[in-house]
A = this chain, B = another copy of it.
Amino acid sequence: MNERQHLPHLHDMSEEELVGHIPSVETIAAVSEAMKQLGDPSRLRIFWLLCHAEECVQNIASAMDMSSPAVSHHLRLLKSAGLIVSNRKGKEMFYRAADTDLVASLHHGIEQIASISCMD
């Protein structure tokens, strides 16, 4: 049971061809989760910043013109998603982009899309 129904209509592409290799739900979940985090302008800017520098919360807040609780909240989400890492230096907590293939790919994609979308 729980078998998918056949396609209502068949056009150019066969059902097998169309539905055959949709990415798994796990893959879709992983990709959309990463995209979701960067779908918020505040988090995208923070992530972009942390791809270029390691900074403490206050400086991030200042650069982004946000309150530190707000920044902290976004940092927690980015960290939960594995996009950034933190390490404490004295009483300050420093954040930077994680050194992973996923982050490298996202960073590259963002810069490419940015260069397409606009001109800075």
A interface residues, Cβ below 8 angstroms from B: 4-9, 11-13, 17-19, 21-41, 44-45, 48-49, 52-56, 58-59, 62-63, 65, 92, 101-102, 105-106, 108-110, 112-114, 116-118, 120
Distance to closest chain B CB from A105 (angstroms)? 5
The residue on B at minimum CB distance from A37 is B39
Contacts of A55 in B (CB 8 A): 11, 13, 18
The complex is assembled from copies of this chain, and their number is 2
Contacts of A45 in B (CB 8 A): 22-23, 28
Asked if B118 and A24 make an inter-chain contact with CB atoms under 8 angstroms apart, the answer reads yes
Asked if A40 and B32 make an inter-chain contact with CB atoms under 8 angstroms apart, the answer reads yes
Asked if B102 and A18 make an inter-chain contact with CB atoms under 8 angstroms apart, the answer reads no
Contacts of A63 in B (CB 8 A): 7, 18-19, 22
- The majority secondary structure among interface residues of chain A is helix
